[in-house]
Structure 1
Amino acid sequence: MSTLVLCIYRGDDLDADPPVVGAEAVEDLVTTVGVDDPEDSRVNCLLEGLRVTRDLDDETVLAVLCGEGDTVTFNRAIAAQVDDLVEMYSPDSAVAVVDSAEDERLVPIIESRIAVDAIDRVVVRQARDIESTYYLLKQFLADEELRKTVLVPLGLTLLAFPALLAVFDSITVSFGAIAAVVGLFLLYKGLNIDALLATLSTSIRDALYAGKVSLVTYVVAGGLALVGLFVGALGASSLDRATAGELVLSMQFLYDSIPWLTGAALIASAGRLLDEVIRDDDIGSAYINLPFVAVAVGLAVRGFAAYVIQRSDVSGPFVVPTMSYGPLEVEQFSVAPETLLAVFILSSIVVSLVGVRVAAYVNSVGYDNLEHRG
């Protein structure tokens, strides 16, 4: 029975063309690599290959597979060398000797060409625990699902921790600042923001070249959102924090900022809808219904905020001024907070229903036109 003992060697510092075949050639390679860098883990891999070749009773052929470059280039080089060895020696099986988890991923390439009886992974004893921990962390960070389920909640918790410290004033501000920095880093990795930033410039350039209306409306929506946050902050800061309370301050902020935020959402969704119309594609019901949803949500939130503010006596009741329509004249009257809330909720429901109806109508008209053209 003949066996191939294959050592994986990453790098381009071999004196001979790969694969290096034979125990004597591998011993010379061990001397060369070991003298140049005694700490190189590849020396241990080559020595392990020599030991396995010595201990096997079979007719063995020791070979060192070598390659460089990116993943695809390296894998193809290893596959070509295995093909040459199989064609030259016609072995019955193989033993793979690797020195890292990264090299162990090449075993399926070898198995696709010859049966692999064993995988011998050699790691320096002092570094075994460190390397195992490193690869576990590397695999953990590469798993998108784990990042979202573990890193994101942990990052949000650390971000909220400084705020709690500032409210209760129970520990130094420096500790909170450190926690905030760590939380931002975890969010940066967990949400994969680095990849989003890498593709942001390309997306903006494509949108400019394509002449998309949504690019302009997004900028306008961002400006309106900033104005809304500023107006809401001004409204909340005008109240006495000692007497108003945190809930009333939050409701005042929402009450003042929600018209601007709703306008931002409306403009952004309208721009996206215009892009679909200009492209003359089938417009999905979501694009048509989104502006109505933005207005409906804005009405509902503003209504609840107004109710809390009026019931807390921060602002007076809503007053309808005197109106006259010819002979008909309506005297000025005030609206109770409960009535005003009911009006806002009813308006929100009506707007959302109108959006659903409009979306269904547009889609039905588009479908009829498509059938007519067909």
Structure 2
Amino acid sequence: MRTLVICIDRDNDLGEKANVSSPIIGREDNIKAAVELATVDPEDSDSNTIFGGVNVLNELHSKGIDAEIVTFAGDKNVGIISDQKIVVQLDAFLEENDITNAIFISDGAEDETLLPIVQSRIKIDSVKRIVVQQSANLESTYYILKNAFNDPKISQTFFVPIGLTALIYAIFLLANYPEGAIIGISAAIGAYMLYRGFNLDQPFALLRERMKGSFYEGQMTFVTNTIAIILAVIATMIGAITLWKYFTTGGGWYYGLITLFTVFINVTVWWYVIAILFANIGKMVDLKRNDHFSLKDVSPSLFITAMGLLFWGASTYILTIGAFPGATDSPNFSIQYFIYSVVGAIIIALAGIKISQNESIYDTKRKITKGKKDKNKN
């Protein structure tokens, strides 16, 4: 039986500050890494976590227990990306070493969010949190605020809204339109709050990592995703300009917010559909290059096209029956468009379902056949 002392650096301070790669295995290497981190940033708690792990390792050795210490580091983008990197390191280490149980060392609740993930792979006997004792002077309000603002996670949350407000206000003052500053500031802060409220930083961080990986690996997805982003920006600008034109001529009270939202959908839906199709095409090209392509990878593109038809037909019909000035078709033609779009969307979606289902059946049969061949060889 071998016990593993696990130390976690979820935000990869070891790599970002001390330029130490993980996993860090063994007592001497962990002490060296902790010293290097403490030398660069004496206030970082991760070095104390490692020293706490070494202390636990010494206690285990003094009791005659066969134990080893390892430190896993994640990524500065704390969340899905950092957790995935730690999981990959942990799985690789467990495959190469005979470990039966572990002791988890952390410096706070953030690292301990990984406990369920680690427990799903190895038995945890104990959890030890390292708490650094400080003097009364260091616990002053100034020190706490100073260190809080130096933390990127806190400073971004606090300074970004204030910075956006000041920047937008300055731009509208230069444009001699101070009244628009209220609209711009409200829109920017509202968008930022929605961004934070829906926790969209994780999907954007994943997208950034994928774009970076596809760029260095020479994948087609880098080009097609860039095209998709540009098309999405163009679509949003077209929709915003169209809305602003109707809003300034009649106002939201005249057209109604639902009608204006329908206008935005109607003028942008195909731009967004084409953008997503470009991203899917790039993905399919890379899958084909790596011999991982199958027909069911076409299904998402068909479903997106079907959804585009539905939104376009429905928005066209709503604008026509509401006698919207921008609608040129008669209600009779618009209802026909809506019916045709519904029928077309159903046909395209059924084609996607059929392709996906047939490919899944084919994959199952192929796995069964391969299993029989492997069994006959043995």
Structure number with larger C-alpha Rg: 1
Given the two structures, how large is their TM-score scaled by the length of structure 1?
0.49
Given the two structures, how large is their TM-score scaled by the length of structure 2?
0.49
